[in-house]
């Protein structure tokens, strides 16, 4: 019974975090559409970050222009794989469920844009260097992947000794 509650808790955390990320992403994109003129840079954090509305029909760094259908399919596969991973891995730490939810939420946020308009609304532009314009979903995906990878490596390393100890008949 406790294992079922623990599993349900992990699944709920994954779903709730993903939902929060989608809401944050879609709300900020709605504000960008409402208040930012295309191409106009508005200082947000002077010298660091501007707000600049654009629609990206590609992926990271505007690569793959016009392949929104492919990136939508990839996003669906990633979200389904993350959900299955959280559902099937009974001993997954809560932190990894959170990171998976952050990645899934970011993927769904951009997926909504791709399905609704064929492109993704971007609005964060670095002021101190020439860097692609991005959005909250992109931040979620990047941070989730980096922290999730680190968390997974640490978790997997800590699990390894228990499973790699030689059995009595092997020693």
Neighbours of 133 (CB within 10 A): 20
φ/ψ region of 61 (left if φ > 0, alpha if ψ in -120 to 50, else beta) reads left
Per-domain residue ranges for the chain?
Answer: 12-157
Task: Name the pTM for this structure.
Answer: 0.85
Band of residue 157 on the pLDDT scale cut at 50, 70, 90:
confident
Backbone phi, psi, residue 54, to 5°: -155, 160
Question: Catalytic residue numbers?
Answer: 122, 138
pLDDT for 165 equals: 53
Give the pair of three-digit tokens for residue 56. 């990206």
pLDDT tens column, 45-84: 999 999 999 998 876 655 666 677 788 889 999 999 999 9
125 contacts 117 by C-beta, under 8 angstroms: no
């Amino acid at each position: 019974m406790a294992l079922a509650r623990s599993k349900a808790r992990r699944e709920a955390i994954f779903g709730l975090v993903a939902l929060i990320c989608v809401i944050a992403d879609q709300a900020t994109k709605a504000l960008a559409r409402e208040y930012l003129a295309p191409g106009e840079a508005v200082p947000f954090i002077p010298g660091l970050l501007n707000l600049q509305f654009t629609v990206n029909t590609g992926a990271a760094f505007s690569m793959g222009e016009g392949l929104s259908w492919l990136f939508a399919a990839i996003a669906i596969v990633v979200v389904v794989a993350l959900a299955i991973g959280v559902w099937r891995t009974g001993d997954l730490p809560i932190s990894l469920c959170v990171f998976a939810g952050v990645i899934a939420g970011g993927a769904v946020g951009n997926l909504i844009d791709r399905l609704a308009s064929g492109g993704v609304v971007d609005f964060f532009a670095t002021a101190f260097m020439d860097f692609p314009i991005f959005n909250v979903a992109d931040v979620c995906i990047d941070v989730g992947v980096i922290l999730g990878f680190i968390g997974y490596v640490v978790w997997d390393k800590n699990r390894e000794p228990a499973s790699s100890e030689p059995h009595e008949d092997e020693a």
